[in-house]
Chain A
Amino acid sequence: MKQTLISLFTISIFFLFNFWSANSQTNLDTIQYKEKYGLRLGIDLSKPLKTLLEDDYRGLEIIGDYRVYKNYYLAAEIGNEELSITEQNISATAKGSYIKLGADYNAYDNWAGMENVIFVGMRYAFSTFSQTLEEYTVSGSSQYFPPNIVEGPFETKGLTASWVELVAGLKVELLNNLYLGANVQLKRRITQTTPSNFDNLAIPGFNRTYDESLFGVGYSYTISYLIPLYKKAKN
């Protein structure tokens, strides 16, 4: 017991010294340090994972950003999704593609040698999709007759929607140029076309909709790789 404590203490001291010396070394070349600028490409990990785990979901999203100036990035996402919504009395599937274009601002002031990102961003998003009414039960105030369940599918093609997104998240450099990230999105719909005598229960890229609200939410877990194009001194 005593021996373990002693060895633990020694190891801690050793690490502490190590840290100290390592840090004082990096401090030396801070003045000269250059940051990488380039194109970062990746995918949303949550979508392929959900495709595997959930029967009624299929989706893929490619993400990318380009560092334009200091802490500012141009950012875009392109994706394709098939989302199913099952409510108590109705079920529907939305199928289609979407694109999101916008910018991110890195609010994190890295110390030398690190290039992590804690960001807030805005997107304009556009989706073209189809909405399929799979099944519904006609709502009646009496249970006297057996429920009238109407089975589809009734598909409406050529629908569109557009919205703006507020994004907040982080990207951590795990290995050299390889980033793991997570973000949450708050969406507000601007326009949408709906099937006649029906509504969009979900929109690819927007996720499920809410009846009395233009807002939607989303999240992503991302893995991306930075292709460095040039370096520029940090100031």
Chain B
Amino acid sequence: MLRKKIKEFDLKILGVGLIFIALINFSCQRDDICPDSTPITPLLRISFFDIENPEVPKPPTNLRVKAADMDSIYLNRVNVSEISIPLKTDIDFTEYEFILNAPIITQADSVSNSNTDKIRFTYARNEIYINRACSYKVNYINLKASPQTLAEDSVRWIKNIVVEEENIENETNTHIFIYH
């Protein structure tokens, strides 16, 4: 008695439409997460070479790396010939301390032959929009690296700094060569 004469064909269109809408909605939830594969603000890649033999990579012994104005240490007592460090994205320079022969932290008071060199990296920042999940990244342009004089520093262990790539847009190439 409550017979509804709905044209079957029209109902099909309606049904397919509704399912389609549901699918679209479901499949589009993923773009809220920034995937690891998306290039974001690149790190500064530094390679260490032998000053005597400039072609040969030479890892500094027990190298500690920390930003001059930070209490926490970024890298501690590493023995590698290549490191990647972050540069600040809110100001146009970042100062880092590179400590050769860094003592073990618990023995910091003991006499050691550690040698601290400070480098100031200056650059211009270019903010680039990526997408809604990853927000913005910073590319650094016109990079310069200059050694800073420390009062207690008698001998510099870093003999020469060469900026290989002035513009830091990715992490595929080394940006800075340090000879020691």
Contacts and interface: CB of A to CB of B under 8 A. Distances in A.
B3 to A, nearest CB: 8
A210 B3 CA distance: 42
A40 B86 CA distance: 62
A107 B7 contact: yes
B133 interface: yes
Interface in A167-200: 168, 184-186, 197-199
Contact of A89 (B20, B24, B135): B135
Given A197-B127, A217-B21, A145 B138 contact: no
A150 B4 CA distance: 59
B130 A118 contact: no
A145 B24 contact: no
Interface string A19-30: 110010000000
Interface string B61-75: 000000100101010
Interface residues of B, number: 45
B34 interface: yes
Interface in A73-119: 85, 87-90, 107-109, 111, 118
Given A141-B43, A144-B70, A144-B72, A211 B17 contact: no
Complex A-B, nearest 8 residue pairs according to Cβ-Cβ distance, in ascending order = A107-B10, A89-B135, A142-B86, A139-B40, A140-B41, A109-B5, A90-B135, A210-B28
Given A120-B10, A197-B127, 15 more contacts: A87-B132, A87-B135, A107-B14, A108-B4, A120-B17, A136-B136, A139-B40, A141-B43, A168-B14, A168-B18, A185-B21, A186-B24, A199-B132, A201-B132, A217-B24
24 contacts: A19-B1, A87-B32, A87-B135, A90-B132, A107-B6, A108-B6, A108-B10, A109-B5, A118-B10, A120-B10, A138-B136, A138-B137, A138-B138, A139-B136, A140-B89, A140-B138, A141-B86, A144-B67, A145-B86, A185-B21, A186-B20, A210-B28, A210-B31, A212-B31
Interface of A: 19-20, 23, 85, 87-90, 107-109, 111, 118, 120, 136-142, 144-145, 148, 150, 166, 168, 184-186, 197-199, 201, 210-213, 215, 217
